[in-house]
Amino acid sequence: MNKFISTLICFLVFNLSFAQSQSGPQMADAFRENGKIYVVIAVIAIIFVSIIAFLIYIERKIKNINDKVNKKS
């Protein structure tokens, strides 16, 4: 297990140093210049809010099922 963790840390450090040597993200710069970055942020926000709403919905259903099971016992 320790060998796995040390290998993983070495891999992450190598990737981090490699990523810093490259130039910045060109696609993000193009989106920022054209004003499309706001569309990307809006889509990400909609997806995030949808996931949170779905998790709340599932949690309520699980609570209702749990309450029904406890009443029968």
Max intra-chain CA distance, the chain:
63
Tell me, yes or no, whether 33 lies in a domain: yes
The total of structural domains in the chain comes to 1
Tell me, yes or no, whether 69 lies in a domain: yes
Please list the rounded mean pLDDT of every run of 10 residues in the chain (73 residues): 75 67 66 83 95 96 94 81
Q: What DSSP string runs through the chain?
A: -HHHHHHHHHHHHHHHHHHHHSPPPHHHHHHHHHTTHHHHHHHHHHHHHHHHHHHHHHHHHHHHHHHHHHHH-
Tell me, yes or no, whether 63 lies in a domain: yes
pLDDT at 18: 60
Q: Is the pTM of this model over 0.85?
A: no
Q: Which range of residues forms the domain containing residue 29?
A: 25-73
Tell me, yes or no, whether 72 lies in a domain: yes
Q: Which amino acid is at 49?
A: V
Tell me, yes or no, whether 36 lies in a domain: yes
Structure tokens of 14?
A: 């190598």
